[in-house]
């Protein structure tokens, strides 16, 4: 018999966002919740990305939960396996396991107006109903594969960086790496020594700064373990430095010129060939696309078995990869480092709101959400790392924790209102919020720096990045302003829910 369960809150996803939400719910005294995860273990990004060289590019002491400090981080920029182990540890330490339902891919979520709840259908056939949904499915969770003519007929191995095939040995192989984003620049130096030939397809060169990665000494770890305040101070320092950088990104992009000089000398140290240096030098302002960190990328590109093609992959003919500029290379394997469905998240097709339309339809002119969380017509549904909450230079965990404050206050408000009740973001509030965000976006390096990036949607609008400091985001997500929501209740006898302005309800 198909399983059915009703919960107060259904959290979707078990990465940093979903696990963080689960911890926060327990701390708020809410135990009536489930975490629905499609995979067979927790960890999100850090479970799926196992490519060689995968590591965070924000220092570990900042790229972790403030409520779960880890004095044992082995490196300043720890690797994937350590971050994954940390998330498994969080799931154990905070007693989250009983709530987590692995292998439960959410196929559809539908708001039932008459019942004031969400109906959630999962791939295994189990259905859930929930008063509130917290969607933490991650902006970088569904790999994006470009549609390349002829790829189907390629006789060799093909995979995406986020679905690494560890059964395939790259030793002695001719490998094409497509893309030069954050994953590709970690992959290239890790596989270059074993590949016979490596051809890198680069549409746009990234700006790459040196990565100050080092082992964290036993003494440092002992200090953080024995005197936890030292770990807090370290985190505070890492955070403060990044906060001070924000105004250059958001208001004064010209100040970033100095950073370009450092990045250029990082390149010049390893790339002696002027023609290669010209290919690798970006023509846009640093920061416009995510600044990448690596001290190994350029040295790898300078090796004789590496060829940089300054053009995208256009076609595959048999075992030959063909670039837009006509360059050809015969290869045994193609690795796509082509990113994720960020502004066209698949989950948006699976959420059907109060008006019977999907979130994707509601977002057809661009993603937007009140305070990065709530969408008009999708009552009691909120998203973690929603529209315009991404960061260009700091830790996404800071964003997640701010959004969890908002989630906690949202649930408290529902309790205060009492009974069966839902909150639906007012169109005027969502519109005003979005106009403010987009107005601030105009001066930022992401919009003015002269590049196209995954921060922008198909219409060129920046619907992903937060145009301010993390402290500002913390402030605007501290509490829910009920005036920004319509309160929806089910009247005793009526079939359709009654919508009333909040002043009437609260007053």
Applying CB under 6 A, the residues found at the interface with ligand FAD are 12-18, 36-39, 44-45, 49, 54, 56-58, 63, 105-106, 136-138, 140-141, 183, 347, 384-385, 395-396
**Pairing of β 127-135 and β 320-323:** unpaired
Tokens encoding 115? 């019942």
Q: How far is the CB of 372 from ligand FAD (least distance, A)?
A: 12
Q: How far is the CB of 347 from ligand FAD (least distance, A)?
A: 5
Nearer to ligand FAD, 49 or 447 (CB): 49
CA 388 to centroid of chain Cα atoms = 11
Please name the residue that has the structure tokens 């995510």: 290
Nearer to ligand FAD, 28 or 105 (CB): 105
Report yes or no: 315 and 329 within 8 Å, Cβ to Cβ: no
> Which helix H or strand E contains 159, and what residues bound it?
strand 157-160
Q: How far is the CB of 363 from ligand FAD (least distance, A)?
A: 16
Nearer to ligand FAD, 349 or 365 (CB): 349
Cα distance between residue 269 and residue 481, in whole Å: 53
Q: How many CB atoms lie within 10 A of CB 283?
A: 8
Nearer to ligand FAD, 118 or 485 (CB): 118
> Which helix H or strand E contains 211, and what residues bound it?
none
Report yes or no: 452 and 425 within 8 Å, Cβ to Cβ: no
Q: How far is the CB of 12 from ligand FAD (least distance, A)?
A: 5
Q: How far is the CB of 378 from ligand FAD (least distance, A)?
A: 16
> Which helix H or strand E contains 409, and what residues bound it?
helix 396-417
**3-class secondary-structure state, position 320:** strand
Nearer to ligand FAD, 58 or 331 (CB): 58
Cα distance between residue 489 and residue 198, in whole Å: 61
Q: How far is the CB of 351 from ligand FAD (least distance, A)?
A: 10
**Pairing of β 333-336 and β 174-178:** parallel
Nearer to ligand FAD, 44 or 205 (CB): 44
Cα distance between residue 45 and residue 15, in whole Å: 7
Nearer to ligand FAD, 140 or 502 (CB): 140
Report yes or no: 401 and 65 within 8 Å, Cβ to Cβ: yes
Tokens encoding 306? 């590496």
Q: How far is the CB of 18 from ligand FAD (least distance, A)?
A: 5
Distances (CA, A) of 390 to 79, 214, 394: 22, 27, 9
Q: How far is the CB of 369 from ligand FAD (least distance, A)?
A: 14
Nearer to ligand FAD, 293 or 480 (CB): 293
């Amino acid at each position: 018999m198909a399983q059915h369960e009703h919960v107060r809150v259904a959290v979707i996803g078990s990465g940093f966002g979903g696990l963080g939400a689960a911890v926060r719910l327990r701390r708020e005294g809410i135990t009536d919740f489930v975490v629905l995860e499609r995979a067979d273990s927790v960890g999100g990004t850090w479970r799926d990305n196992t490519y060689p060289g995968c590591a965070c590019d924000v220092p570990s002491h900042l790229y972790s939960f403030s409520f779960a400090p880890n004095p044992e981080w082995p490196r300043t920029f720890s690797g994937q396996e350590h971050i994954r182990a940390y998330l498994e540890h969080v799931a154990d330490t905070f007693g989250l396991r009983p709530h987590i339902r692995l292998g439960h891919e959410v196929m559809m979520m539908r708001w039932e107006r008459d019942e004031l709840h969400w109906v959630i259908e999962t791939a295994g056939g189990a259905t859930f109903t929930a008063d509130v949904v917290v969607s933490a499915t991650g902006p970088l969770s569904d790999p994006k594969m470009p549609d390349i003519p002829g790829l189907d007929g390629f006789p060799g191995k093909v995979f995406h960086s986020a679905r690494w095939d560890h059964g395939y040995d790259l030793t002695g192989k001719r490998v094409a790496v497509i893309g030069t984003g954050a994953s590709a620049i970690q992959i290239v130096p890790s596989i270059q020594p074993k590949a016979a030939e490596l051809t890198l397809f680069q549409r746009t060169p990234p700006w790459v700064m040196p990565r100050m990665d080092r082992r964290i000494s036993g003494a440092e770890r002992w200090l953080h373990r024995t005197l936890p305040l030292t770990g807090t101070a370290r985190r505070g320092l890492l955070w403060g430095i990044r906060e001070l950088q924000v105004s250059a990104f958001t208001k004064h992009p010209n100040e970033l010129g100095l950073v370009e000089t450092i990045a250029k000398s990082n390149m010049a140290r390893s790339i002696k060939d002027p023609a290669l240096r010209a290919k690798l030098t970006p023509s846009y302002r640093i920061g416009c696309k995510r600044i990448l960190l690596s001290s190994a990328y350029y040295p790898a590109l300078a090796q004789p078995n590496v060829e940089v093609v300054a053009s995208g992959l256009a076609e595959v003919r048999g075992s030959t990869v063909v670039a837009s500029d006509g360059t050809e290379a015969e290869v045994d394997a193609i690795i796509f480092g082509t990113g994720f469905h960020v502004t066209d998240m698949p989950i948006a097709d699976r959420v059907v709101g109060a008006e019977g339309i999907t979130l994707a339809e509601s977002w057809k002119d661009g993603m937007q959400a009140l305070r990065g969380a709530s969408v008009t017509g999708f009552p009691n549904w909120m998203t973690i790392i929603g529209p315009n909450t991404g960061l260009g230079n700091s830790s996404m965990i800071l964003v997640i924790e701010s959004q969890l404050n908002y989630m906690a206050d949202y649930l408290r408000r529902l309790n205060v209102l009492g009974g069966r009740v839902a909150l639906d973001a007012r169109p005027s509030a969502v519109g005003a919020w979005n106009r403010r965000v987009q107005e601030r976006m105009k001066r930022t390096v992401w919009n003015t720096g002269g590049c196209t990036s995954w921060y922008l949607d198909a219409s060129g609008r920046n619907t992903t990045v937060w145009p301010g400091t993390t402290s500002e985001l913390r402030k605007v997500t501290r509490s829910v302003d009920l005036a920004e929501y319509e309160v929806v209740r089910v009247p005793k006898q009526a079939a359709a829910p009654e919508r009333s302005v909040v002043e009437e309800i609260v007053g």
